[in-house]
């Protein structure tokens, strides 16, 4: 019993350790989210409390929020496919030692003390910070838009929301707060829902005392609740001794409490021992069994799929090559059941005046995710040339310039050519050209196409305009760049 329940989960992710190794109760009690100078347990927050028995040591891991998932599901009533926007959490690729210092910057240069090398989402966050700092983009500017069939589920991520986090509340001047309200931007949403910074959480494997028939369940809890659980264990070890106060060696019930109306996040969760609750034979048997495996839960996201997903929902051009120029120190992450490619393609722009992504010489992944039959299969949108299931597009591919596509695709991800289900190329249908009528010749001029704002160029230092010179003055003066 002791060995099974004390077996710590330690997995190397991307060459670093974002799922921290916790191999003893002392490791758990000493774990922090910052560095100092089977089934899922659901619905308990609605009840406000739940009595739990800890079946295994918690697992600490870091994941990004803010970026949602856009999925295709079947409507239970109509039986038709619908596109939904759900909250998303993406396992981080960076080392925990770096993430614990994520907010530390050099006071003179403003640069990160611990640069991000392995996680493109961390690099995206830093890119937005630098663009706003250099006044290349306003902090209230929308950067991404995720939408489905339900308008109320639409998610817009603003430049400031991506990197600010809680600073959206703490560091803004009154005039900036007013400007956000005038623009209809919720600072509360920006601080919590749009915040893409990685945060540390614990995966707990517990038995619900009221429902032992559900077995050992998995619960993801905040670092705040994790700290409250640590306080309970620390107090019990001081009162009863190290062995007797260890809930993994000497099981005892711990109650979790969620205070929904509490405004202070630090006081929102509480935990207390329930020593009077008896350990039943049914629960004791569950605690002795091997706990559920949670390795897949902490698996980091697939980098290539994430780039295709973000590019497909971007409202501006970003320096994607730089953001996703991450160090490769481990094999590619295998596909998971919740692969990013199991998503709906971005919805087409409704207005011709809306910005669209500029076409590049090399096909971008964003083009591939626009093909619905490709994007829903949980595989790369474009196969490699060596894949036995790959075929060359008859419309745009040649022997010297291969354009691979999946053999069962009905749309080419490169040129958009259409095929029948049995692989026959359909002729391209061209719309007949229409001539304006005489009475329309003086109508409004055609709407000019709005190009997508390009933020992909390097952030260049701004220079002061040259000073005026008196006639006959041949001296030269240096033009000092402004301190951006």
Instruction: Note whether residue 434 is domain-resident.
Output: no
Contact status, residue 207 vs residue 285, Cβ threshold 8 Å: no
Spatial contact of 18 and 93, defined as CB atoms under 8 Å apart = yes
Both tokens of 153, joined, read 């589920």
- 79 with 148, same domain: the answer is yes
pLDDT at position 66 is: 92
Instruction: Report whether pLDDT(334) > 60.
Output: no
Determine the Cα–Cα distance for residues 452 and 226; give it in Å rounded to an integer. Answer: 44
Burial of 447: CB neighbours in 10 Å, binned 0-12, 13-18, 19+ = exposed
- Assess whether pLDDT exceeds 60 at residue 37: no
Whether residue 149 has pLDDT greater than 60: yes
Each residue of 101-144: pLDDT tens digit?
888 888 888 888 888 889 999 999 999 999 988 889 999 999 99
d(CA 112, CA 105): 4
The reply to whether 160 and 82 lie within a common domain is: yes
Asked if 110 and 24 sit in the same domain, the reply is no
Q: How many CB atoms lie within 10 A of CB 181?
A: 11
Please check whether residues 83 and 124 belong to one and the same domain: yes
pLDDT in tens, 271-294: 999 999 999 999 999 999 999 998
| The pLDDT of residue 359 is above 80 | no
Q: Considering only 98-102, 207-211, 347-351, 454-458, which range has the smallest mean pLDDT?
A: 347-351
Indicate the range of 5-14, 64-73, 187-196 predicted with least confidence. Answer: 5-14
Q: What is the pLDDT of residue 19?
A: 59
Residue 358 resides in a domain: no
Residues 279 and 398 in one domain: no
Please give the residue that has the higher pLDDT: either 471 or 340.
340
Let me know whether 83 and 183 are in one domain.
yes
Helices (H), 280-402: 281-288, 303-312, 320-323, 365-369, 372-375
Instruction: List, for residues 246-276, the tens digit of each pLDDT value.
Output: 999 999 999 999 998 887 878 899 999 999 9
Question: Does 476 fall in a domain?
Answer: no
In this structure, are 71 and 152 located in the same domain? yes
Neighbours of 306 (CB within 10 A): 21
Give the pLDDT score at 336.
Answer: 41
State the Cα–Cα distance between residues 408 and 289, nearest whole angstrom: 45
72: Cβ contacts below 8 Å, ≥ 6 apart: 81, 82, 83, 84, 342, 343, 344, 376
**Residue 13 pLDDT grade (very low, low, confident, very high; cuts 50, 70, 90):** very low
Whether 431 is in a domain gets the answer no
Q: Is the pLDDT of residue 226 over 90?
A: yes
Highest mean pLDDT among 409-413, 441-445, 451-455: 409-413
Contact 29, 94 (CB under 8 A): no
1: pLDDT strictly greater than 80: no
In 3D space, the residue among 284, 286, 231, 282 whose CA is nearest the CA of residue 254 turns out to be 231
Q: Looking at the structure, tell me whether residues 46 and 117 fall in a common domain.
A: no
* Structural domain for 120, as ranges: 66-195+303-321
Q: What is the mean pLDDT of the chain?
A: 77
Domain count within the chain: 3
pLDDT, tens digit, 9 for 90 and up, residues 38-61: 588 888 988 899 999 999 999 999
> Is residue 161 scored above 60 in pLDDT?
yes
Residue-level pLDDT at 418: 83
Same-domain pairing of 187 and 239: no
pLDDT in tens, 167-215: 666 677 888 888 888 888 888 888 888 999 999 999 999 999 999 999 9
Cβ atoms of residues 27 and 6 within 8 Å: no
- Can you give the pTM of this predicted structure? 0.63
Judged on CB neighbours under 10 Å (0-12, 13-18, 19+), 471 is exposed
Looking at residue 248, its pLDDT comes to: 93
Q: Average pLDDT of 23-44?
A: 68
Evaluate whether residue 433 is within a structural domain: no
Whether 238 and 284 share a structural domain: yes
158 burial level (CB within 10 Å; 0-12, 13-18, 19+): buried
| Maximum pairwise Cα distance, the chain | 100
| Residue that terminates a domain, selected from 298, 329, 347 | 298
Percentage above 90 pLDDT, the chain: 38
* pLDDT of 307 strictly over 50: yes
Same domain, 269 and 312: no
469, part of any domain: no
Three-class DSSP category at 254: strand
69: its two tokens? 């998932």
Candidates 119, 90, 96, 97; CA nearest to 325 is 119
Percent of the chain, pLDDT > 70? 71
């Amino acid at each position: 019993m002791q060995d099974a329940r004390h077996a710590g989960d330690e997995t190397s992710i991307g060459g670093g350790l974002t799922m921290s190794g916790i191999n003893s109760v002392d490791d758990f009690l000493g774990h922090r989210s910052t560095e100092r100078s089977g089934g899922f347990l659901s619905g308990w927050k609605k009840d406000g409390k739940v009595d739990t028995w800890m079946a295994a040591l918690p697992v600490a891991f870091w994941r990004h929020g803010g970026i949602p998932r856009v999925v295709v599901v079947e409507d239970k009533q109509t039986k038709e496919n619908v596109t939904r926007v759900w909250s998303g959490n993406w396992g981080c690729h960076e080392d925990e030692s770096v993430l614990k210092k994520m907010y530390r910057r050099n006071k003179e240069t403003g640069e990160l003390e611990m640069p991000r090398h392995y996680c493109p989402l961390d690099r995206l966050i830093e890119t937005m910070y630098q663009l706003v700092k250099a006044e290349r983009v306003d902090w209230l500017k929308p950067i991404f838009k995720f939408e489905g069939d339900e308008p109320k589920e639409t998610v817009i991520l603003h430049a400031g929301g991506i990197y600010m986090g809680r600073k959206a509340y703490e560091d803004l001047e009154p005039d900036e707060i007013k400007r956000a309200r005038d623009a209809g931007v919720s600072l509360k949403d920006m601080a919590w829902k749009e915040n893409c910074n990685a945060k540390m959480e614990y995966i707990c494997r517990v038995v619900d005392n009221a429902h032992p028939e559900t077995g050992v369940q998995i619960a993801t809890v905040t670092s705040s609740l994790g700290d409250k659980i640590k306080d309970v264990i620390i107090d019990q070890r001081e009162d009863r001794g190290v062995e007797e106060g260890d809930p993994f060696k000497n099981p005892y019930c711990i109650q979790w409490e969620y205070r929904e109306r509490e405004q202070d996040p630090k006081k929102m969760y509480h935990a207390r021992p329930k020593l009077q609750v008896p350990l039943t034979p049914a629960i004791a048997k569950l605690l002795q069994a091997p706990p559920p495996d949670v390795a897949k839960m902490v698996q980091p996201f697939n980098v290539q799929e994430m780039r295709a997903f973000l590019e497909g929902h971007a409202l501006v051009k970003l320096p994607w090559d730089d953001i996703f120029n991450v160090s490769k120190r481990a094999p590619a992450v295998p596909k998971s059941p919740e692969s990013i490619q199991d998503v709906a393609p971005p919805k087409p722009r409704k207005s011709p005046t809306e910005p669209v992504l500029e076409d590049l010489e090399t096909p971008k992944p964003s083009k591939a995710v626009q093909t619905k039959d490709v994007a829903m299969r949980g595989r790369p949108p474009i196969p490699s040339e060596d894949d036995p299931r790959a075929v060359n597009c008859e419309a745009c591919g040649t022997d010297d310039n291969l354009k691979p596509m999946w053999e069962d695709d009905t749309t080419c991800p490169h040129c958009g050519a259409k095929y029948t289900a049995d692989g026959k190329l359909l002729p391209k249908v061209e719309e007949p050209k229409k001539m304006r009528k005489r009475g329309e010749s003086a109508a409004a001029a055609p709407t000019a196409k709005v190009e997508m704002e390009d933020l992909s160029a390097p952030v260049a230092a701004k220079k002061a305009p040259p000073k005026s010179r008196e006639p006959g003055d041949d001296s030269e003066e240096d033009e000092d760049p402004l301190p951006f």
